[in-house]
Amino acid sequence: MSAPAEMDLPPRPVSAPERRAAAPRWQQLRLVAMKEFADRLQHGWVLACSLVWLGAIALTSLFGLVQIGSIGIQGYERTTASLLSLVQYIVPLLGLLLGHDLIVSEREDKTLALALSGGLSRRKLLGGKFLGGALALAVPLVLGFVVAGALIGLAARDTEVTPFLKLAGSGLLLGLVFLGIGLLLSTLSRTRVQALVLALLAWCAAVFVFDLAAMGTMLVARGGAAAREVEIVTDATHVASAADLHAAYESGDDAAARAAARTRERPVDYWLWINPLDAFRALNLPRELAIHSGWAGLLLSGGAWLILSLTGAAWRLQRLDL
């Protein structure tokens, strides 16, 4: 350290209220969010996710019909059906993996203490963490959907982009819901490892356990026909599911048959909305399967889970001793 000079004395203190009044209102929130996103960018998460996601969409579009004996770039509707299972497995996992260490890692490393000791409220910290995580999730997903979507449109000369856009929008929402759940698990955990285990258990519960339980319940309560409907929505067993979906298109190739199928449409069992993953799947199922669920299911289910998760995380974070 160099020798001090009297002239170096700090100026008259600017009071905290004066500084706060002069600072942009959302500065703390923005700083935390941008730091979180910059960290993911620096660690290669954003680039890796973008490449994986782009490749997954392109390959699914190219090979999605292999199970029914066809190879080639599909149009938007068929690509959507092929991508459905991939999105419902991968996107919640990405959300949970991003969210699970947002708080616990900084708690373990003790960096939270310095941030919170300087007047950053715990609610703003949580908000910033969620926004930063959301950005790190959204950028690769949107990039993948936009680039792959443009390529599919050009290669397949398809302009019926609505199902694909619906899949992209609902997939993004699904990711945010599981990011929120991951954030909650992060505040509940004492170590990174504990948070990771909880995140993987949550993923298994959403993807497998709930659906198997739902099918079992339906089978007991309403018989085999009902269970078949649930299987289509929940895709619990994953056996030939993509082939099933594409078979629906094949059998409904004829316009009259498609129209007839749509007249048989009935709403999905509402209690399946407990699981946002099933609400997502029901929203994106081909209409030819005659089971439908609008945006309301996903918005209600996803919104409720997101609010519950963030509220729970905020409650827990307020009570943490650092």
**Residue ranges in contact with other proteins by CB under 8 A:** 1-2, 4, 8-17, 19-20, 22-23, 27-28, 31-32, 35, 39, 42, 109-111, 113-121, 319, 321-322
To other proteins, the closest distance from the beta carbon of 197 in angstroms equals 24
Q: Spell out a b/e string for 23-52, using b for 16 or more CB atoms within 10 Å of the CB, else e.
A: eeeeebbeebbeebbeebeeeebbeebbee
Residue nearer to other proteins on the CB measure, 218 or 317? 317
Residue nearer to other proteins on the CB measure, 8 or 253? 8
To other proteins, the closest distance from the beta carbon of 239 in angstroms equals 45
Residue nearer to other proteins on the CB measure, 19 or 264? 19
The token duo for 41 is 């960018």
Residue nearer to other proteins on the CB measure, 200 or 322? 322
Distances (CA, A) of 107 to 116, 139, 156, 190: 11, 26, 50, 8
Which backbone phi and psi does 236 adopt, to 5 degrees? -65, -35
To other proteins, the closest distance from the beta carbon of 195 in angstroms equals 19
Residue 2 Rama label (left phi>0; alpha psi -120 to 50; beta)? beta
Residue nearer to other proteins on the CB measure, 42 or 159? 42
What are the beta bridge partners of residue 266?
291
d(CA 321, CA 160): 54
The token duo for 159 is 């302009």
d(CA 198, CA 284): 28
To other proteins, the closest distance from the beta carbon of 227 in angstroms equals 50
To other proteins, the closest distance from the beta carbon of 186 in angstroms equals 17
The token duo for 12 is 């008259």
Residue nearer to other proteins on the CB measure, 32 or 152? 32
* Contact of 128 with 36, CB cutoff 8 Å: yes
To other proteins, the closest distance from the beta carbon of 262 in angstroms equals 55
d(CA 292, CA 279): 10
Residues 6+ positions from 300 with CB-CB distance below 8 Å: 273, 279
